[in-house]
Amino acid sequence: MIYKELIQEFENDPQEKISDFILIDFRPVIETFISTAREWLDKYANVLKVRGEKELKVIEDKIDEYRTEIQKNPAEIESLKNLLNEITKIKNQTMDMEFAISEVTEIFRILKMYDPHNKARFEDAFALEEKWKQLLLEAKVKDEKLIQTKKFFAKDTKDRVDLFRSKVDAFYERFKATGPGS
């Protein structure tokens, strides 16, 4: 940020200057400028911190929500469908999440660079990318573990379809034999 550089420059400049026979004292101007620049730096840091922490919370909540959803074990076909939908959602959200994580990480990088004593959640922000990668890995592992469950539900669904087909065929034969117009 330019304010930090200007503060350093003004602190290093001489505070008095002799011009011909006049001594000019710049101290009040320099002190006012430095004070104002520090105030602006604090305001920028505060805005970045509030925005960064808000976005950090949103991303962390989303990751936690996804993690909770993929840890469920399906007992029926609907819960399997919901779990597979969550896994697909996670995979489809990858690019959006990576952009959001990159933005949050950049906000906290800037905060740390210009205000390292700030009480922001630096570690949490810098760990987001790893948390997302871990969630993706968990989703892929869960998808692989579900192969047998998918096969079981596929066979069960096929059996139900076959049973339904036989009932419809039987009904059709009865309808042809005893229905109207027979």
Q: What is the pLDDT of residues 59-80, one digit of tens each?
A: 999 999 999 999 988 878 788 8
For residues 134-170, one letter each, b for 16 or more C-beta atoms within 10 angstroms of the residue's C-beta and e for the rest, the string is: ebbebbeebbeebeebeeebeeeeeeeeeeeeeeeee
Q: What is the pLDDT of residue 2?
A: 67
Which among 34, 30, 31, 25 has a CA at the least distance from the CA of 4?
Answer: 34
* Per-residue pLDDT at 46 exceeds 90: no
Residue 19: φ, ψ to 5°? -120, 110
Q: What is the pLDDT of residue 3?
A: 61
Q: From CA 48, how far away is CA 56, in angstroms rounded?
A: 12
In whole numbers, what is the pLDDT of the chain averaged over residues? 85
Which among 57, 61, 64 has a CA at the least distance from the CA of 138?
Answer: 64
